[in-house]
Structure 1
C-alpha cells in the first residue's frame, strides 16, 4: 500500500514540476527573444536564427528555472491534493511529513541529476557555441576591436580576438615573467594561429633580458607553447563564463587560462557540486504546505514555504557573490545557504509533525 501511494505521489509531483519547468523556461525564452529579435533579424538570420538562438539559450534557462519549478510545483501539487481531501486521508492514515518527504526524495534526485548534467556537459558547450555563432554573424561595422588580456602560466598576454572560433589572434603581446615575478622578456607578433595544439606566431619581435644584457631578435615565425586555448579565447569576453567542474579545476591548477581571481573559480567549483542540491532544499521547505486545509485554510503554510524558498535563492546568490569577491571563504560560500535552509526546513517539518 505504501509503495503504491509513494509512486502516486511521485508521479503527481513530477508532472506538476515538469509542467512548471516548461512554463518558466518558455516565459524566460519569450522575454529574452523580445530583447534580441531585432538584432537577429537585422543580421539576416530570420526565423531559423531565432530558433537557433533559443535552442542555445535553453540549457541555461532550464538550470535557472529548476529550483523554482520544484518549489512552485510542490506547493501547487499539495494545494490541489488538499482541496481533493487526499492529504487529509494520508494524514488520517498516519503518514507524517517526514515520511512524505522521504517518499518524494527520488523526484529531487532526478532534478538534481538533470541540473548537474546540464551544468557540466551541456551548458558550457552551448554558451561557447552561442558566443562563436554570435561573433561570426556580427556585421563588420559593428565589430569592436578591443585588446583582451589573459593571465597565462608564463605571464600576462594581450591580443585582439581575430576569429569567432578563437583559433586566430592579432597583435599579440606576450610578457614573460620569471619565478620571482620580474619581467624577463617580451614578445610582439602580428598574428598567431592555433596549429597542432600550440600557437604559431608570425612576424615576431622578441626582447629578452639575460643578466644585464638586452637581447633583440626578429623572426618570421616561432612556436609558442601556452595554456591559452581557443575555447579559452572565446570565453574571455564573457564576464562570468559557464565552466564545468573539470574546467574550473584546470583553471585553478593553472592548466587553463582565467581572467578572474583564484577565489572566484574556487567558489564556483564548490558551488557546481552544491547547487544541484537546491532541489532537495526546495522540496523540504515546501513539504509543510501539505497541511493546507481542504476549504482554503492553511494558506499561511503555503506562503511561508514560498517565502522561505525565495529567501533561499536570494541568500544563496548573495553568499555566492561574497565568496566570489573574497569576503567569505569559498567553501563556506557554497555550503552556508543550503545548510542553513536545510536546518530551517527540518525544524519546520519536525514542529508540524508534532502538532
Structure 2
C-alpha cells in the first residue's frame, strides 16, 4: 500500500505526463490531418483522410511516450519543487531515493503500457491505415508512390497496395538470371493468397530472349513465394512501426534471403528496450529538477526536457547507421545512449543529494 505522500507524488506525476501526451498528440494529429488534405484525389477523399489519421493514433501515441513522459515528469516534479514541497518532504525525513522510486511507479506503468501498445495495437492499426490509404491512392494504376519494394532471390517485386493480409493490388515483378540479366517482367492487377500460394489475376508478362522479346497475357498465374501474408503485413509498414515479434521474424527472413537486416534489428532493439530508454530519460530529468532546474520557471523545464529528449533520439538515430558502417552490433547502438543517460542522471542526482 502506498502512503498518502506516495499517492500524492504518483497523482501529480501521472496527471502531468497524461496532460503532456494529450497536448503533443493533439498537435501532431492536427498537423497530420492538414498534411493529408494535400493528398486528396477522386479515390482518397476527406473521409479517407480522417480514417487514416484515426487509425494512426496508436502509433503516434507510442512514438511520443518517451518524450511525453520525460517532459511530464519534469513539469509535475518541477511544480512541486517550485512550491517548496520537495524541500518540505526532504526536511521531514523523506529521502531523495524514496521520492525518485515513487516517481518511477507511474513512469513504469506508462512504459509497460507503451510496450503493450507497440507490440499488439499500434502495428495492427498502422498496417490498416497504410493499406486503406495505399489502396485509395493507387487507383488501380500500375505504379504508385505509396507502394513497396521487396527482393526475393533474383526477383525484385513492387506492390502497389495491400488491401488485407491476403489480398494485394498492382504486383510488378522483375526476374533476373544468375548473370544479372533481366529475363522476365510482369504486372498483375491483383492477387489473393490461397492454399499456400498467391493466385495472380489479369497478368501481363514480357519474356526477354537473346534476340527478341515475347509478350503474353494470362487470366491467372500461380506465384509460389516466401512472402506470406504475415510477412507482407510487415513489408508495407515502416520498421519503426512494426511489432517487436514482427521485427524479429522479418529480420530472420531477410537474413535467410541474404539481405542486410540491420535496419530491422535496430528497430527491434529500440522497441524492446524502450522501457529502459524511458527510465534513463526520466532519471536524467529528475536529476535536473533536484539540481540545476530546482527554481527555474516551468517554461524552461519544458524546453530543457524537449532538448534532452531530442538529443537522446538524435544520438540513437546517429549510432544506428554508424553500427552498419563500422560493424558494431545494433544492440550496442541502442544501449549506448541509454547507459550514458543513466550515468549522467545518476551523477547529477548524487551531487544534488
TM-score range, shorter chain: 0.7 to 0.9
2: CA distance, partners of 1:142 / 1:198 = 24
RMSD: 4.0
The CA deviation at 1:8 is 1.4
After superposition, where does 1:5-24 map in structure 2 within 5 Å? 5-24=5-24
Distance 1:258 1:97, change over 3 A: farther
Structure 1: gaps of 5 or more residues: 208-217
Matched with 2:61 is 62
Query: SS of 2:242's equivalent?
Result: coil
2: CA distance, partners of 1:261 / 1:18 = 39
Distance 1:299 1:170, change over 3 A: closer
2: CA distance, partners of 1:93 / 1:259 = 63
Question: In the alignment, is the contact (CA less than 8 A) between 2:21 and 2:61 conserved in 1?
Answer: yes
Question: In the alignment, is the contact (CA less than 8 A) between 1:97 and 1:287 conserved in 2?
Answer: no
Distance 1:168 1:121, change over 3 A: same
Matched with 2:110 is 111
Matched with 2:260 is 261
The CA deviation at 1:169 is 5.0
Query: SS of 1:167's equivalent?
Result: strand
Matched with 2:82 is 83
After superposition, where does 1:201-212 map in structure 2 within 5 Å? none
Question: In the alignment, is the contact (CA less than 8 A) between 2:162 and 2:236 conserved in 1?
Answer: no
Question: In the alignment, is the contact (CA less than 8 A) between 1:149 and 1:156 conserved in 2?
Answer: no
Matched with 2:348 is 348
Question: In the alignment, is the contact (CA less than 8 A) between 1:264 and 1:325 conserved in 2?
Answer: no
Question: In the alignment, is the contact (CA less than 8 A) between 1:292 and 1:298 conserved in 2?
Answer: no
Query: SS of 1:39's equivalent?
Result: coil
The CA deviation at 1:74 is 1.4
2: CA distance, partners of 1:26 / 1:38 = 19
Distance 1:120 1:142, change over 3 A: same
Matched with 1:100 is 99
2: CA distance, partners of 1:78 / 1:339 = 23
Distance 1:250 1:289, change over 3 A: closer
Matched with 1:242 is 241
Query: SS of 1:137's equivalent?
Result: helix
The CA deviation at 1:16 is 0.7
Single out whichever of 278-287 and 130-139 deviates more from structure 2.
130-139
Query: SS of 1:226's equivalent?
Result: coil
The CA deviation at 1:83 is 3.0
After superposition, where does 1:278-317 map in structure 2 within 5 Å? 278-291=277-290, 296=295, 302=301, 307-317=307-317
Matched with 1:37 is 37
Distance 1:68 1:33, change over 3 A: same
1: CA distance, partners of 2:12 / 2:239 = 37
The CA deviation at 1:15 is 0.6
Matched with 2:121 is 122
Query: SS of 1:157's equivalent?
Result: strand
Question: In the alignment, is the contact (CA less than 8 A) between 2:43 and 2:139 conserved in 1?
Answer: no
2: CA distance, partners of 1:105 / 1:113 = 12
The CA deviation at 1:219 is 9.4
The CA deviation at 1:84 is 2.6
Structure 2: gaps of 5 or more residues: 208-216
Query: SS of 2:137's equivalent?
Result: coil
Matched with 2:173 is 172
Report the TM-score when normalising by structure 1: 0.78
2: CA distance, partners of 1:352 / 1:335 = 26
The CA deviation at 1:235 is 5.8
2: CA distance, partners of 1:52 / 1:33 = 10
Matched with 1:210 is none
The CA deviation at 1:321 is 3.6
Distance 1:304 1:236, change over 3 A: closer
Matched with 2:228 is 229
Matched with 1:74 is 73
